[in-house]
Amino acid sequence: MTTARQTAEIVSIDVPDAASELRTKLQQKTATIGVVGLGYVGLPLVRAVHDSGFPVIGFDVDEEKVRMLKAGANYLHHLGDDLTAELAQSDRFEPTSDALRLADADVIVLCVPTPLGVHREPDLSFVLRSTEMAAKVLRRGQLVVLESTTYPGTTRGEMLPILERTGLTCGTDFFLAYSPEREDPGRAEVTTSSIPKLVGGVDVHSTDLSMEFYTRVIDQVHRVSTAEVAEAAKLLENIYRAVNIALVNELKVLLTEMDVDVWEVVEAASTKPFGFQPFYPGPGLGGHCIPIDPFYLSWKAREIGLDTRFIELAGEINRQMPKYVVNRVAGALNDDGKALHGANVLVVGIAYKPNVDDIRESPAAEVIELLMDGGANVSYHDPLVPKFPSMRKYDIQLESTSLSEQSLQNVDAVLIVTNHNVIDYNLLGRSAKLIVDTRNAMAGQSDIAARIVKA
């Protein structure tokens, strides 16, 4: 079996001079790498590229991010303060909001958002604008790589025409590839360099050069035949998760009605050493991948006249979870002789996953809005998110409150949406009257005086 390192050494016949020159720069690590977008994907990539020895230009339109990086300040706390401090002191890293600085980059990697539009259609505006920006500085011998999640055909069908309008020819003058990001914020045991990477170019020379680059930054790199294969593989990864989460969410609703604990069921099924992988229910999907990426493929399928019924059904189930959770809160309050209207409800955890401050697409936003629409007096506690930031669809004017025995005594229901490790669950169990738990966070806690309702 050919390893990634061995694959990277494959040299195409009749290699263009521009490819040979860039290959030499990459091998000697004299190539300058430009990373466009310094968020949850771009900044960790900057670290990996910088740590491997390349000079790096980090570009972002957000001048505040650039200012903070120059000062060594950290705006993505799960990455640790050491990262930004080290970058600020390095003579191999330059943060900038000047797009013309990318002219000095030999490799330009685009790490920009790919959200959904108002009708759940792909929004490629960030990708297209970034590609146009790269086109303005495109020169002979540059490699452009897209890392943003998108539907198959984006790199070749959308980016390539923009870049070739410069008069340069892909595969001869410049090179273009796709390599999907696989970041998992909050998992301290893995880093960008330790997560295996996929690489597929729009031509063989582009793939060769992308392999040449990434194998010097990432521990394991897997070559695929085309950019379209890499684009589709990324979607499959996240659709797989979305569908299986939808399955356990649907089982949760069913088994709850049958008075069976879905969490214990998943734990029991997990004892099978083959043919089963555990997925866990929750209050809805969050983050920038699983709630969004499946719809990129379902939209593309409709464009070519096909339906993706499995994907659509999974999306429908997962989108209903916030409403189901709020109904469980209302039912639990009703059992205590109280109405949702006028009840004091404390939401615990608003980030989309444990132990990060990332609220992108967090189900907490819809849960809180539904609670407010039902007349509840809502507060929240999240030590990692002191103020609820403005979101595309939500503008929730709340700040995190502290936990204490006295404050919990004034709460009619505690709703656990995100189970951060830093939350004092023992205090919740001792002092709250009612806890609606969407994450099984109270399992294993002792000395619980509160009534626990799973949702």
At 342-361, the pLDDT tens digits run 999 999 999 999 999 999 89
- In sequence order, what are the beta bridge partners of 120? none
- Asked if residue 5 has pLDDT above 50, the reply is no
User: In angstroms, rounded to a whole number, what is the distance separating the alpha carbons of residues 150 and 154?
Assistant: 7
As assigned by CATH, the class of the 4-225 domain is alpha beta
Instruction: Read off the pLDDT of residues 187-246 as tens digits, 9 standing for 90 and up.
Output: 777 899 999 999 999 999 999 999 999 999 999 999 999 999 999 999 999 999 999 999
**Residues classed as catalytic:** 289
Q: What CATH number was assigned to the domain covering residues 226-319?
A: 3.40.50.720
CB atoms under 10 Å from CB of 268, counted, come to 10
Q: Which of 291, 428, 249, 260 is nearest to 349 (CA)?
A: 428
pTM score: 0.91
User: In angstroms, rounded to a whole number, what is the distance separating the alpha carbons of residues 321 and 247?
Assistant: 12
Lowest mean pLDDT among 23-37, 202-216, 289-303: 289-303
Residues contacting 72, CB < 8 A, separation 6+: 84, 85, 87, 88, 89
Long-range contacts of 267-270 (CB under 8 A, 24+ apart): none
- CA-to-CA dists, residue 113 to 110, 125, 181, 247, 293, angstroms: 9, 9, 11, 28, 11
Domain ranges of the chain: 4-225, 226-319, 321-455
What CATH architecture applies to the domain 321-455?
3-Layer(aba) Sandwich (3.40)
